[in-house]
Chains A and B, each alone.
Chain A
Amino acid sequence: MKILLAEDEEDLRDVVTEYLRFQGYQVTPVCNGAEAFKAAKEDAFDAMVLDVMMPVMDGITAIKKIREIGNTSPAIFLTAKSQVEDRIEGLDAGADDYLTKPFSMEELSARLRALGRRKRDYRPRLLKFGNIELDMEQSELKAINTISLAQKEIRLLSYFIDHPDEEITAEDLIKEVWDKEQANNDMVMMYVSFLRGKLESVQANVMIECGEDQSYRIREL
C-alpha cells in the first residue's frame, strides 16, 4: 500500500515515515501542501496523511486541489488543534478522517487499515487505461468490444490499473482481492488468466504479463 505523508515538522515526519515503513507501507514523505499536490498528481497513492498547518500551502488547500483533479484516494488529517471548526473544514474539503496531535502510531495505522477496507467506496465508477474502460457500475470491460466481468475480476483489474507497469506479486493480489477468503497462487493465476482472455476478446491494447516467481504486470502495448 502506497502512502503519501505531508508533514512540515521534520522529527515527526521521520518518525511516522519509519513507523509506517516498518508496518510494510511504501511511504513518500513531503514537507508541505504544494509538494503533496505535486506528488499526488504524479503518482497513485492508496492513502494520504496530511498535516493541516504547513508552510507554502496548508493541508486543507492541498486536499481541495487534489480532489479537484479527480483524485479520490482516502485522506487523513493530522491537526494540532482540536477545534471543531478545523475538523469540519478539513472533512468538508475532502478528507475522510482526522487525528488530533499528539496521536498514537497504532491508532494512525488502524485508521489507515480501516480506510483501506473501505477503499472501494471511494473509487470512481469508470477507470481508463490504454484503450480499455472498466465500467464498475455496469461490471463491463470495454475496448473495441464489450464483455462482462465478475466482481473479483473487476477488483483485480482495478488494482492493476492503479499500479501500471509495476511488478505485483500474487501475495499483493490475494491481500487486495480475496481479503480473508481462502486463496492461493493457483487461484490468482486462474483469475489473471480469465482477465487476459477477456482483455484479448475486447481487443484491448493492454496486457497482463506473468513474470517468474508468481508476479504480474499490466502494460500498454
Chain B
Amino acid sequence: MDIYGTYRQTMDKVMQDLADRIRAGGNPSGHDKLYEHLSCRIKSDESAREKLRRKGLEESTENALLKLKDTIGLRIVCRFVDDVYECVRLIRELPGLRVVKEKDYIHDAKPNGYRSYHMVIEVTVDEEDVAGNNPGHYFAEIQLRTIAMDTWAALEHELKYKKDISNQEMIVRELRRCANDLAACDISMQTLRKLILS
C-alpha cells in the first residue's frame, strides 16, 4: 500500500469530481471552450515521500495528506491569458471548496521566466479524512497557464533533471529569453483577439 493508505480512493474521487465540475463550467454551451486541456494526477508515492524527506518530515500518511498541498494536482491549459483568469474566477465560485492560497506567477514571473497561476484549494467531501473529520477535507493544487507557458514549462522541466550540462548558465539565460518571447506572443495574441472581437 502506498503512503496515502486507505485514503487513496477518496483522493481519486475528489480529483475526478473536481475535474468534472471544472469541465462542466469550462464548456459553456454555445461558447468557446475556456481551456484547451485539463489533466490531473495523484502525486506518486515516491515523489510524496521524497518531498516529505526534503521538508524534514516523517514519511507518514498524516503528513502526506496534511502537510503536502499538491498530492492532488490539476493542470488547466488555456489558449489566451484572459481565459486563465476566467478559469480562476470559475474555480473560486465552485461550491464546497475554499481557496487556501493563490500565487500569480503570470503577474509576477519567477526569475527564471516561469509563468503560471497557482491555486491551493481545500475541498470538502462526504468521506472521512486523515484527521477523522467527516465530511472530510482534502487539499488540491491547480496550475493554470497558457499553451505557450505550458510549452516553456515542459522544456524547463526537462532541463532541471539534466544537471551535467556544461553551459548551464547560457542555457538558463536563453531559456529565460524564450519565456519573455513567449509572453510577448501571448500578449500580442490576446490583443489581436480583443481587436477582432471588438
Contact = CB atoms under 8 A, between A and B. Distances in A.
Contact of B184 (A144, A147, A203): A147
A202 B194 CA distance: 19
Interface in A56-93: none
A150 B108 CA distance: 22
Contacts of A147: 180, 183-184, 187
A148 B109 contact: no
Contacts of A201: 183, 187
Interface in A167-200: 190, 193-194, 196-198
Nearest to B105: A145
Given A190-B195, A193-B195, A144 B108 contact: yes
Interface string B74-108: 00000000000000000000000000000000011
Contacts of B176: 146
Contacts, number: 41
A116 B146 CA distance: 41
A133 interface: no
B29 to A, nearest CB: 30
Contacts of A196: 191
A149 B108 contact: no
B10 interface: no
A140 interface: yes
A148 B152 CA distance: 15
A140 B180 contact: yes
Given A145-B108, A145-B109, A203-B107, A193 B191 contact: yes
Contact of A197 (B108, B181, B187): B187
A147 B109 CA distance: 10
- Interface footprint category on A: 10 to 19
Interface residues of B, number: 16
B13 interface: no
B67 interface: no
Given A193-B195, A203-B107, A148 B190 contact: no
B188 interface: yes
B183 A194 contact: no
A32 B36 CA distance: 66
B21 interface: no
Nearest to B181: A148
Contacts of B184: 147-150, 198
Given A190-B195, A203-B107, A146 B188 contact: no
Interface in A110-158: 138, 140, 144-150
Given A196-B191, A201-B183, 15 more contacts: A138-B177, A144-B108, A145-B109, A147-B180, A147-B184, A148-B177, A148-B180, A148-B183, A149-B184, A150-B184, A190-B191, A193-B194, A194-B191, A197-B190, A201-B187
8 closest Cβ pairs, A-B complex = A197-B187, A148-B184, A148-B180, A148-B181, A197-B191, A145-B109, A193-B191, A147-B184
24 contacts: A138-B177, A140-B180, A144-B108, A145-B107, A145-B108, A145-B109, A145-B183, A146-B109, A146-B176, A147-B184, A147-B187, A148-B180, A148-B184, A150-B184, A190-B191, A193-B195, A194-B188, A194-B191, A197-B190, A197-B191, A201-B183, A201-B187, A203-B107, A203-B108
